Structure 1
Amino acid sequence: MPEGDTVWQTARRLREALAGRVLTRSDLRVPRFATADLTGRTVLDVTPRGKHLLTRIEDGLTLHSHLRMDGSWQVYATGERWRGGPAHQIRAILGNAERTAVGYRLPVLELIRTADEPEVVGHLGPDLLGPDWDPGEAVRRLTSDPARPLGEALLDQRNLAGIGNVYKSELAFLAAVTPWLPVGELPPGVPERLVATAHRLLDANKDRPDRRTTTTRRPGQPLHVYGREGRRCPRCGAAVRRAELGDRVTYWCPGCQKGPSAPTN
């Protein structure tokens, strides 16, 4: 599931494959930009912003993409067989003499002017992995609506950019509160610790092939609660539960996480 660390890794792969090289192949398979031709232009940079990817191209252009739930960018040696999915799922192809980047199942793909980037990412809060990271501002935004459930506040990219369902569940567990506890009811100091932990975890995982939030090295226990429905909580031994509300999935321990339980649909 793409979250801030996954997007950061994707940006690094794309940057290494494309930046500084002239495009020899360009194919944007979305109706609005199907006729756009980027061949002959040099890719300048690929920058992650929260869960957004900004591929900057000479002549003041940016290819903006978002992975959402199951989108991906795959990089292949030019001429290598593509294995990221069937051809009908391909939304973008950017290639040079050495590498080809193929975007699969991209729900957001648009070509914009680089000067207009603030229109698509300007609403985001401090980026957990960005040069603008500001923990004080992140805390201020996270706690700005005291009645809002913690999980919703963590997922709101206007508060801090980069958290998805996995980190939402793990952060609530580490804070020993349920994701449905109103932010205003968090004990003193917990919002600051939550923000610091979020930054620490994403920063640590941006260079790992597999995401890990635990300190144990036992096989099969990289996460505390996410994906562990019915298994024993590593802190208190109670059975971990799962809740599905719309397209959001949450895991939590009813034994040691204090606060309201999951509401029903």
Structure 2
Amino acid sequence: MKLLRHGPAGAESPAVLHDDAAFSLTPLTADIDGAFLAGGGIARVRRALTDGSLPLVDLDGQRLGPPVARPSAVVCIGQNYAAHAAESGAQPPALPIVFLKTPNTVVGPFDDVVIPPASTRTDWEVELAVVIGARAWCLPSPADAAGCIAGYTISNDVSERTWQIDLSGGQWSKGKCAPTFNPLGPYLVPADELDPGDLRLGSTVNGEVRQASVTADMIFDVPYLIWHLSQFMALEPGDVVNTGTPEGVAFSGRFPYLSDGDVMTMHVEGLGEQTQTVRRAVRAPSGA
């Protein structure tokens, strides 16, 4: 079962893919958001699929939006793969590195990524993303994290490295928060249908492989991350946690940074793939 949202940006409709068919979720909910996930929405979808009460929907030619609407927070983990830490010139962290992206970075999985006018070092990062389904606050142990996870999707944690590293003042979020810097999707797969501990993931740029790894190489696994974050912040239903990227980014010095017209593809086993075309923003004329 794969939950998705389709239609124009800001006016998406919820749907589900099941047994090679797409069904509308509008009889059950207006959207796939935190309230839907916290209110037993996934279980209601399963019941509706079993009793055949959902109408078919045609997705041909339709835009796909991010699979969860309006996250209140996008929390990110840095250098969570040892090889990526090494290519960044750092030792593997002893504790998770945490930074934030603004929610308005989140766009659909096939929407364009826009390079800001002043950017010279825009980079890609394929990541397994966790979508929260129940409030996670001061969890007693990593084992308790499972009850707070709604499911998983794909994230591209697009980054501007000059802003992140050279102009950061020690905080990475400056390089992470430009509009369109977090394509998400295409699907939300329920947590009980996927083991996040050993999934292949990777990225290409213009068809050339950039990243290829497995989530088993994470330094901190998903249950630990959700437990750890809950000691410092309350994760709310619908929030997104980006769990870190493997080696193979432009910051390594092995590949050029993104340019206008480049095409990025991100994939995670069991979650499909997403593709974005890179566009450079045109600076507005003075006084516009």
The two structures have a TM-score, normalised by structure 1, of 0.30
Task: Say which one has the larger Rg.
Answer: 1
Question: Larger RCO: Structure 1 or Structure 2 (Cα < 8 Å, ≥ 6 residues apart)?
Answer: 2
Q: Which has the higher helix share?
A: 1
